[in-house]
């Protein structure tokens, strides 16, 4: 045997064992996706153990490791079996697959140490890989590659084409995708079946190199990886013809076997078809070159400097804050969806052009790529209009399961943006971000608060959302004021307060005006700036509940899931009435003040409600 | 002059007037997007008044009207000016643009009678158009065309490519897109600038016919529309090279003019550049052939038939309900994202294959297309996993501003799906859908309730979300039970109830089990099925608040924005404590029961909490 033949023989041996563990683990679990794992087994065995993939299993965080993302996360049995074959997982651990408490979850999550990202919602892995490739190429400047295993069904997701266009735009020849074209989706044939040319044509039109192969031929697989690593200024897609369920007659290339495990009889027959399996065989992953990125060094952060008498929009303060923090956080990067002049991310871009990524009008990929950057240790701030972050809710949702250190900024929140009308108004963003596990949701009212909260977000590990206002608002706070996450500010208070207004952002100024108006009438309003929507400062609310007759919440957001419900929930076991003022009528175009009046979140509406409660 | 030259002369005259109104209206309003309107003025004038577009302005709802969607909704001044030029809008009305209460909003919404759909969140119009084209081709079987005006920036949105692939898949040669390639996005050049070949190559790879033209040459424009209407089994994209701000020197083809209006001086100069404008000129839109779709006739709906002793998953009941209602609702159609065997939409598909549309794994386009179908009078039910509807949150959000009669069904809600793990668990869907204005959110616990609520959703006009459970659950309700939207069911009640449990869906069965357990201990639990999460039955909650010591809410959903907060909000001014049990720990794979226990939403957790409250 030649050396090449020997290598192929060894790979086949490993693949047989991997197929065995795919079947054994899913059959034991009674659920999972064996057929989708089997189609990609040869592709992944060839990648892992064929010499192309460079990774130090002792140091998963080593910067110059190649990265592999299973975008088709349902092929997790294959993913886990690969790590078993690499000697990093015992058979016993393998058989905990899908059990409560096992790191081997149904779809990969951060609980499995070798999972680069949580996947399982289709069409997200390529964006994450793109973020990692951006990091390697433009930030860490390392030669490592990022591989993404893709399913053919998920190529229908638009997010894929967002990632595909951006990868070409950024000339990421260190990004290598592998489409496992097994022809069959969950409920029948995919859009293009085994028409590999359909994928080739589309990808090449989008500027990718393509390599079309038989995904079960090791010579073709190994050659493809070799060619793919020969960088040529373009990302590469290996388009592999495979058979779903490959190697198990009852399911091979047959419809009706998605997410279905074998019966005991079928399992026995399948084992016979696998032939001799040596469960002791282990493969070796080549380790990468020892190259480290240049360490960034943190410089001092400049102090704040907002003249007290000049209104500034919090979105502008966001841009200023990024720039101010730039030297202190060398890992801080900014991604924006072609609106950096509106979100003010351009302030950072101008100061640190090499740390700014224009992601164009493609929010899903932007958030996915930011995840990739975060998972490689960077500190990405993603910005666009709050309304358009709804576009990326699935990516945001999945980010929590990757435990990605993501920061998102939504500008142009609320009806107070005015004339542009409802399509541009972020009115559900608080609800959307509150319903993410462990999220932090911040809504500063003035430039100082925004600056301090951007800094708090940068120091906090985990998903943080910052809500920004379009209009310029007065400076409320001096440059020394602190804004801890979970805190609040008491802006108006006396020992004769009758009612409390708990609000944040643009409507805080309405509350302050209502306070002035009502003072003349002998009604004292306590005014709270609840800038930390989640976690919420329950203590200050309890104090207000004890000292005033009622609490009125005010927010430029729909009535559901926002600040009002957060406060009502925090006080749900306390006997104080909590009245909610929020957006309730169909929003429309108009002047900001007209719209706040119309939605009954203005100073007038607050005063009106306060008088009604005071008089009752 | 030849007839053709005369026609072009007339079109130029109209275009000059349209340009005038674009500038006059935006300058008066002090905001808006004149430059983006001017680039498409010739394209749209040619379409409207060049004879290609067939529309009866007296009957906007006439089924065989062509349709025109401004996907680049920020070009609304152009859109409104076209209708002025068609004699359907006075100058006075035109000048209410962007004023509070005017139907001429910053971006088109349903308040403008000729707007086919609300747009302004980019990358959505083509999907809506695709839905309308599907309707014309496969349901109404009419020869009318759907036109979609697209911006070049928005071609970066993945949703576009979802629509593009599906339109080719369904051979929609009645769908004609026009890309206004004006080179400039909001903050600089787009990804491809004036490289028209980049668009051509990509679109042809996706199976579209393309026609590349100079978007300011009337002969080319008119020829393109003529060619485009020659149906050839493929959708058509007209790719037009245009200049942003065309006709106004200060902004023509210049960066920095997106969403910016002219100064008084620039305005005066611009008027001079327009030359003579005759504001009395009006154009004629050709009317369509008088063809009506065959009227559907409603047949009787079969009664329910679930044996009381056989558990059925509510997702299965959803599929059964669609099939059962099919004869009674001839406009009912089903769209599914390649998971119809999981959502059970396949039950309907098998019974009514011509009314089922496979939308593949592309949720954004699915929801957009459903909007298009709804806006053309159909009754679309969209289904996928609840988790994956997050993918289409922007489309769902925009649907409310189109006033689309949309029904969405999310299956596999909650941690109770079990082993597949968090990526597949819908845990934020209630928050997401509650925060849509005027939405209805329903969460049936058993098959009877699901059947009745699907029927209620079909009869309700507006956005309805139905939440479905993966697991089979016992039948609770007899076939005659009624489930009005906004109602609830009292399942356990006595005059000695100490506490109330308000829950819905899968956790209702946990509450019933806790009731049994606690009864032995002398603690009587009232159990409420709050199947209508929004609107919520506040009356029954007030009664419970008056008659029991506390209310415990239980839900298989994150703690924020779901049933618990809805109940807490409903009772926020009532002095009854409301305790919330909801998903609070990082979800993982495991058995459904293990996961409910882990998240403290199980029978055991309910009993534990009830005992603690009872003992306190």
Where does the pLDDT of residue A129 fall: very low under 50, low under 70, confident under 90, or very high at 90 and above? Answer: very high
Q: How far is CA A477 from the centre of its chain?
A: 32
The H-or-E segment that residue B139 falls in is none
CA atoms within 13 A on the CB side of A124: 29
Length of chain B: 616
Residue A611 forms contact with B (CB below 8 Å): no
pLDDT the model gives residue B228: 97
Tell me what percent of chain A is helix, strand and coil, each rounded to the nearest 5: 40, 15, 45
For residues B482-502, average pLDDT? 97
Closest partner residue to A573 (CB to CB) among B98, B577, B587 is B577
Residue A205 forms contact with B (CB below 8 Å): yes
Question: A338, B153: Cβ pair inside 8 Å?
Answer: yes
Question: How far apart are alpha carbons B319 and B334 in whole angstroms?
Answer: 10
A284-297 burial code (b ≥16 CB/10 A, e <16)? ebeebeeeeeeeee
For residues B562-577, average pLDDT? 98
- 3-state DSSP call for residue A101? coil
Q: Which residues of B are less than 8 Å from A400 in CB distance? A: 586
For residues A229-257, average pLDDT? 96
pTM of the model: 0.98
Q: Which residues of A are less than 8 Å from B165 in CB distance? A: 156, 191
In a mutational test of the B interface, the residue from A163, A388, A565 whose CB has the highest number of chain B CBs within 10 Å is A565
Handedness of CA B78, B80, B82, B84 (dihedral sign): negative
Mean pLDDT of chain A: 97
Q: E strands along A376-524, which residues? A: 379-385, 407-411, 440-442, 464-467, 472-473, 489-492, 499-503
Mean pLDDT of chain B: 97
Beta pairing class for B312-313 and B472-473: antiparallel
pLDDT at A1 over 80: no
Strand-pairing partners, residue A569, are none
pLDDT at B2 over 90: no
Question: A106, B424: Cβ pair inside 8 Å?
Answer: yes
Q: Give B89-135 pLDDT, tens digit per residue.
A: 999 999 999 999 999 999 999 999 999 999 999 999 999 999 999 99
Closest partner residue to B591 (CB to CB) among A100, A565, A595 is A100
pLDDT at A308 over 90: yes
Residue A384 forms contact with B (CB below 8 Å): no
CB distance A91 to A60 below 8 Å:
no
| Nearest Cα residue in chain B from A164 | B158
pLDDT at A616 over 80: no
For this complex, say whether ipTM is above 0.90. yes
- In B117-136, the residues whose Cβ lies within 8 Å of chain A are 118-123
Q: How many CB atoms lie within 10 A of CB B66?
A: 23
Residue B597 forms contact with A (CB below 8 Å): no
Q: Give A342-374 pLDDT, tens digit per residue.
A: 999 999 999 999 999 999 999 999 999 999 999
Opening angle at CA A267, ends A263 and A268, nearest 5: 125
Where does the pLDDT of residue B3 fall: very low under 50, low under 70, confident under 90, or very high at 90 and above? Answer: confident
Handedness of CA B343, B347, B350, B353 (dihedral sign): negative
Where does the pLDDT of residue B172 fall: very low under 50, low under 70, confident under 90, or very high at 90 and above? Answer: very high
Question: How far apart are alpha carbons B36 and B27 in whole angstroms?
Answer: 14
pLDDT the model gives residue A3: 84
Let me know if A363 is a catalytic residue: yes
Q: Give A530-557 pLDDT, tens digit per residue.
A: 999 999 999 999 999 999 999 999 999 9
pLDDT the model gives residue A310: 97
Q: Give A482-536 pLDDT, tens digit per residue.
A: 999 999 999 999 999 999 999 999 999 999 999 999 999 999 999 999 999 999 9
Tokens linked to B427: 């845990």
| Nearest Cα residue in chain A from B420 | A106
CB distance B66 to B146 below 8 Å:
yes
Where does the pLDDT of residue B296 fall: very low under 50, low under 70, confident under 90, or very high at 90 and above? Answer: confident
CB distance A314 to A445 below 8 Å:
yes
Closest partner residue to A105 (CB to CB) among B191, B390, B421 is B421
| Nearest Cα residue in chain A from B188 | A338
In a mutational test of the B interface, the residue from A97, A357, A391, A410 whose CB has the highest number of chain B CBs within 10 Å is A391
Residue B112 forms contact with A (CB below 8 Å): no
Q: Which residues contact B488 (CB under 8 A, 6 or more apart)?
A: B528, B529, B530, B531, B532, B537, B540
pLDDT the model gives residue B232: 87
pLDDT at A2 over 90: no
Q: Give A329-340 pLDDT, tens digit per residue.
A: 999 999 999 999
Q: Give B62-86 pLDDT, tens digit per residue.
A: 999 999 999 999 999 999 999 999 9
Q: CA separation (Å) from B413 to A118, A605, B158?
A: 19, 38, 26
Question: How far apart are alpha carbons A533 and A516 in whole angstroms?
Answer: 25
For residues B280-296, average pLDDT? 94
Question: How far apart are alpha carbons B385 and B404 in whole angstroms?
Answer: 21
Residue tagged active-site, from A105, A154, A220, A363: A363
A120-145 burial code (b ≥16 CB/10 A, e <16)? bbbbbbbbbbbbbbbbbbebbebbbb
Q: Which residues contact B339 (CB under 8 A, 6 or more apart)?
A: A186, A187, B383, B384, B385, B411
Residue tagged active-site, from B154, B157, B162, B363: B363
Q: Give B541-561 pLDDT, tens digit per residue.
A: 999 999 999 999 999 999 999
């Amino acid at each position: 045997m030649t050396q090449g033949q020997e290598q192929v023989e060894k790979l086949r041996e490993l693949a047989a064992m991997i197929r065995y563990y795919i079947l054994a683990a899913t059959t034991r679990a009674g659920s999972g996706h064996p057929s989708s794992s089997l189609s990609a087994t040869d592709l992944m065995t060839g990648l892992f153990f064929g010499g192309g993939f460079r990774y130090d299993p002792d140091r998963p965080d080593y910067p110059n490791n190649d990265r592999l993302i299973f975008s088709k996360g349902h092929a997790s049995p294959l993913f886990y079996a690969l790590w078993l074959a690499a000697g990093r997982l015992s058979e016993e651990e393998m058989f905990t697959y899908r059990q409560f408490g096992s790191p081997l979850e149904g779809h990969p999550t951060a609980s499995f140490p070798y999972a680069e990202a949580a996947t399982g919602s289709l069409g997200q892995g390529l964006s994450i890989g793109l973020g990692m490739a951006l990091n390697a190429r433009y930030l860490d400047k390392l030669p490592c590659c990022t591989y993404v295993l893709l399913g053919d069904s998920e190529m229908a997701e638009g997010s894929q084409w967002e990632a595909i266009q951006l990868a070409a735009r950024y000339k990421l020849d260190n990004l290598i995708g592998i489409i496992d074209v097994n022809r069959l989706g969950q409920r029948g044939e995919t859009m293009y079946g085994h028409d590999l040319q359909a994928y080739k044509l589309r990808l090449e039109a989008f500027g990718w190199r393509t390599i079309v192969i038989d995904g079960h031929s090791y010579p073709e697989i190994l050659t493809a990886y070799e060619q793919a690593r020969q960088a040529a200024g373009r990302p590469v897609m290996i388009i592999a013809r495979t058979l779903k369920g490959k190697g198990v007659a009852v399911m091979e290339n047959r419809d009706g076997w998605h997410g279905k495990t074998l019966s005991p009889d079928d399992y026995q027959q399948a084992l016979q078809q696998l032939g001799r399996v040596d469960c002791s065989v282990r493969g070796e992953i080549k380790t990468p070159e020892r190259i480290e990125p240049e360490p960034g060094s943190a410089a001092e952060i400049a102090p704040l400097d907002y003249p007290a008498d000049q209104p500034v929009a919090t979105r502008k303060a966001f841009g200023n804050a990024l720039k101010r923090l730039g030297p202190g956080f060398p890992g801080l990067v900014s991604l924006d969806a072609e609106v950096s002049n509106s979100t003010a991310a351009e302030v950072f871009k101008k100061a640190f052009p090499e740390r700014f990524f224009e992601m164009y009008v493609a929010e899903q990929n932007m958030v996915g790529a930011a995840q990739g950057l975060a998972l490689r240790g960077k500190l990405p701030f993603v910005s666009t209009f709050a309304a358009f972050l709804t576009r990326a809710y699935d990516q945001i949702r999945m980010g929590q399961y990757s435990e990605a250190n993501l920061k998102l900024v939504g500008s142009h929140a609320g009806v107070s943006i005015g004339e542009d009308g409802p399509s541009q108004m972020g009115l559900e963003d608080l609800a959307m971000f509150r319903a993410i596990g462990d999220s932090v949701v911040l809504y500063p009212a003035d430039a100082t608060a925004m600056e301090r909260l951007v800094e708090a977000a940068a120091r906090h590990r985990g998903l943080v959302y910052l809500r920004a206002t379009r209009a310029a608002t007065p400076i409320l706070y001096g440059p020394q004021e602190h804004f801890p996450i979970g805190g609040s500010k008491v802006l108006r208070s006396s020992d004769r307060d009758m009612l409390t207004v708990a609000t944040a952002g643009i409507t805080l100024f309405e509350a302050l005006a209502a306070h002035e108006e009502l003072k003349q009438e002998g009604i004292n309003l306590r005014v709270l700036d609840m800038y930390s929507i989640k976690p919420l400062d329950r203590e200050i609310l309890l104090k207000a509940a004890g000292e005033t007759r009622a609490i009125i919440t005010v927010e430029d957001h729909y009535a559901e899931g926002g600040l009002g419900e957060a406060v009502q929930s925090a006080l749900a076991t306390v006997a104080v009435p909590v009245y909610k003022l929020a957006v309730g009528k169909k929003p429309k175009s108009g002047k900001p003040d007209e719209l706040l009046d119309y939605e009954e979140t203005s100073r007038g509406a607050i005063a009106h409600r306060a008088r009604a409660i005071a008089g009752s």
